[in-house]
């Protein structure tokens, strides 16, 4: 009897070790397929280090419950779609407690006709699994508690109506490793295919009902249990309101953009979670969450690229139908790092074309950006230019950007007479033989143009409607002549001295 008890205890301990210390994050999303069908998706992240275990075998049980009443509507079996190992190849220069993370994607199709799925508050989806990564130092007893992945779908429809919406979906895992004492802005924005409004919030991760002492099978899953679901218990010194990541400043999220910012101060492994709510016409229609594990490591000295404009970028303006060029010097203090460059604009329609060339030298690099504008620019238009430089630093690239704006100057705002000469000498010596508007004005966007030239007695001696006009003096006598321009209804006057 004693041997049987010992064997039972040994088996239970083995069972707990098999399911413990592997979950590092994940979350739901859904996609509308048409005909009242939704693809329900779950991204599941786990540690795949030497002491970790595999994914739960087979499909995952996901409960669908009514919001508010917590009544079970159905149980979905999410099947495996794909499995990938996240890339740690850049991390060879650091020592990290986390060296391998795998992502497995699951999905199932759920048909939701309005005749059956018409609960006024909508439905929530939940999957529970034990246990978390034991290295998460901001969580109390992480190896003994589970994760509750949670999502809301609020159709807000009545009988015989359809609800056509796809939820936001978080992009790929934003960062596997962070370097201590560096400022970060991590793009944690979700894609939103329907153009709805999104609001981001940092939240408490949910532990749910799964734990190391109440496992129902060797997979670590529990059968769907209705909510509400308890949040994790933060370790001493940590809280959502006070300290999540030992940062200075600590982790924050921009409610509109989903941009996470932090400057971590301590080496370690941390757990955090973010919520994204979707609104249409001011009404909440869905909610997704994503848990993530962040490892903070000690990194070698790293330097972001530096971008210097050599062309006085902040003092330039755009004119219609012109080509304007800017030169930059891009460098990285670590001369062994290579640099990749990208350029983007807020309004591509203001440009007819642009060229972006980089010298053969990898680091530093001489860069030339030339912009060719359109004729359809409007007064008040402003082109914002953003140049992004990224190196190949270890454990991951560092980025920097240079931004400047170019206000549009219309023909009505340009001093067209500024560069027009007041003397010309049509003596056929090949120098200053013609009177014309210099520069690129011949290719300007003037839709209406007229020039008239008069002698001192008021007789018109020359006229043209060609913006590229060239007057050779027509063998007229030397003297002072008066010039009148009509450019898009704008009347300008000047004079020209004809000498020989």
Question: Given this model, what pLDDT does residue 360 score?
Answer: 56
Phi-psi region of 208 (alpha: psi -120 to 50; beta: other; left: phi over 0): left
Sign for the CA dihedral angle at 150, 156, 158, 159 comes to negative
Cβ proximity of 435 and 458 under 8 Å: no
Q: How far is CA 180 from CA 262, 332, 469, 487, in A?
A: 10, 20, 66, 61
Average pLDDT over residues 296-305: 90
| Mean pLDDT, all residues of the chain | 86
Predicted confidence (pLDDT) per residue in 108-145, tens digit: 999 998 889 989 999 999 999 888 888 899 999 998 88
Q: Same domain for 396 and 443?
A: no
Contact 244, 250 (CB under 8 A): yes
H or E segment and range at residue 475: none
Query: Per the domain annotation, does 383 fall within a domain?
Result: yes
- Give the residue from 266, 297, 328 where a domain finishes: 297
Q: Write out the two tokens for 261.
A: 């910012």
State both tokens at 259: 């941009």
Question: Are 276 and 405 within one domain?
Answer: no
Strand partners, 297: 179
Mean pLDDT score, 20-31: 82
Report in angstroms the alpha-carbon separations of 255 from 178, 188, 239, 278.
22, 11, 19, 12
- Strands 423-424, 490-498: pairing is parallel
Q: Are residues 316 and 171 part of one domain?
A: no
What's the pLDDT score for residue 6?
A: 37
Tokens 């971590």 correspond to 264
Give all strands (DSSP E) within 86-214, no chain letters: 101-111, 123-130, 146-153, 169-170, 177-179, 184-187, 190-191, 197-203
Do 224 and 286 belong to one domain?
Answer: yes
First-to-last CA distance in the chain? 126
The backbone torsions φ and ψ at residue 93, rounded to the nearest 5 degrees and listed phi first, read: -90, 0
Domain termination residue (choose one: 362, 394, 409): 409
| Domain co-membership, 422 together with 388 | no
| Residue that wins the pLDDT comparison between 228 and 97 | 228
For 482, the token pair is: 């008066």
3 state DSSP class of 211: strand
**Structural domains in the chain (count):** 3
* pLDDT band at residue 2 under the 50/70/90 scheme: very low
Task: Give dist(CA 410, CA 375) in Å, integer.
Answer: 10
Are residues 220 and 333 both part of a single domain? no
Residue 482 forms part of a structural domain: yes
Q: Which residue segment(s) compose the domain that 59 sits in? A: 18-297
Q: Is residue 147 situated within a structural domain? A: yes
Within a domain: residue 59?
yes
Characterize the bridge pairing of strands 306-309 and 399-407. unpaired
By C-alpha distance, which of 414, 412, 413, 432 is closest to 423?
Answer: 432
Nearest to 85 by CA among 59, 46, 27, 135: 46
Closest CA to 140 of 47, 96, 205, 202: 205
Beta bridge partners of 97: none
- Specify whether 214 is located in the same domain as 107: yes
Q: How many CB atoms lie within 10 A of CB 490?
A: 13
pLDDT digits (tens, 9 = 90+) for 162-220: 788 999 999 867 667 899 999 988 888 999 999 999 999 999 999 988 877 654 445 55
Length of the chain: 500
Whether 54 and 123 map to the same domain: the answer is: yes
Q: Strands (DSSP E) along 414-459, which ranges?
A: 423-424, 449-454
What is the percent of the chain with per-residue pLDDT over 70, rounded to a whole number?
88
- pLDDT tens, position by position, 413-440: 677 777 788 999 999 898 999 999 886 6
Peptide bond into 75 cis (omega under 30): no
Indicate whether 353 and 480 sit together in one domain: no
Contacts of 184 (CB under 8 A, 6+ apart): 175, 178, 260, 261, 262, 263, 264
From 33-37, 94-98, 281-285, 472-476, the region with the lowest mean pLDDT: 94-98
232-246: string of b/e by CB count within 10 Å (b at 16+)? bebbeebebeebbbb
pLDDT range class, residue 459, cuts 50, 70, 90: very high
* Selected residue with higher pLDDT from 21 and 52: 52
pLDDT for res 165? 92
Q: Is residue 1 included in any domain, yes or no? A: no
Instruction: Judge if 470 and 491 occupy the same domain.
Output: yes
Sequence-ordered list of residues with C-beta below 8 angstroms from that of 94, at least 6 positions apart, any chain = 177, 179, 297, 298, 299, 300, 394, 395
- Predicted pLDDT at 132: 86
In the sheet that holds 252-253, the strands lie side by side as 184-187, 259-262, 252-253
Residue 92 has pLDDT above 90, yes or no: no
């Amino acid at each position: 009897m004693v041997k049987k008890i010992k064997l039972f205890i040994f088996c239970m301990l083995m069972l707990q070790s098999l399911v413990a210390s592997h979950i590092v994050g994940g979350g739901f999303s859904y996609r509308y397929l048409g005909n009242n069908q939704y693809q329900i998706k779950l991204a599941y992240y786990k540690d795949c280090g030497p002491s970790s275990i595999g994914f739960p075998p087979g499909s995952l049980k996901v409960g669908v419950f009514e919001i508010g009443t917590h009544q079970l509507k159905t149980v979905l079996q999410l099947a495996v779609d794909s499995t990938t190992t996240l890339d740690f190849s850049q991390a060879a220069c650091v020592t990290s407690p986390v060296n391998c993370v795998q992502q497995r994607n699951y999905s199932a199709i759920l048909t939701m006709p309005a005749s059956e799925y018409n609960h006024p508050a909508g439905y929530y989806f939940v999957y529970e699994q034990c246990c978390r990564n034991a290295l998460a130092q901001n969580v109390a007893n992480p190896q003994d508690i589970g994760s509750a992945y949670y999502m809301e779908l609020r159709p807000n429809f009545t009988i015989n109506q359809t609800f056509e919406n796809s939820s936001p979906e978080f992009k790929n895992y934003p960062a596997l490793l962070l370097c201590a004492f560096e400022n970060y802005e991590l793009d944690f924005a979700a894609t939103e295919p329907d153009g709805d409004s999104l609001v981001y919030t940092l939240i408490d991760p949910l532990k749910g009902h799964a734990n190391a002492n109440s496992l129902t099978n060797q997979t670590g899953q529990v059968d769907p249990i209705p909510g509400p679901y308890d949040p994790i218990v933060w370790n001493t010194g940590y809280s959502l309101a006070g300290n999540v990541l030992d940062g200075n400043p600590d982790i924050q999220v921009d409610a509109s953009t989903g941009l996470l910012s932090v400057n971590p101060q301590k080496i370690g492994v941390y757990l955090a979670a973010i919520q994204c709510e979707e609104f249409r016409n001011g009404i909440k229609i869905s909610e997704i969450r994503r848990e993530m594990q962040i490892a903070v490591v000690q990194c070698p000295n790293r330097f972001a690229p530096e971008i210097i404009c050599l062309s006085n970028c902040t003092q330039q303006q755009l004119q219609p139908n012109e080509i304007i060029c800017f030169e930059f010097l891009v460098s990285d203090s670590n001369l062994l790092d290579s640099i990749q460059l990208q350029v983007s604009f807020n309004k591509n329609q203001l440009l007819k074309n642009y060229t972006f060339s980089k010298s053969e030298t990898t680091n530093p690099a001489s860069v030339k950006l030339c912009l060719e504008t359109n004729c359809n620019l409007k007064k008040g238009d402003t082109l914002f230019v953003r140049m992004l430089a990224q190196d190949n630093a270890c454990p991951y690239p560092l980025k920097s950007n240079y931004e400047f704006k170019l206000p549009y100057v219309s023909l009505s705002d340009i001093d067209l007479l500024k560069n027009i000469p007041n003397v010309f000498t049509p003596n056929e010596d090949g120098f200053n033989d013609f009177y014309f508007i210099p520069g690129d004005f011949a290719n300007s966007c003037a839709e209406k143009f007229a020039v008239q030239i008069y002698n001192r007695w008021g007789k018109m001696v020359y006229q043209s409607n060609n913006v590229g006009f060239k007057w050779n003096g027509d063998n007229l006598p030397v003297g002072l002549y008066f010039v009148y321009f009509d450019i898009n209804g704008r009347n300008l006057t000047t004079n020209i001295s004809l000498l020989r």
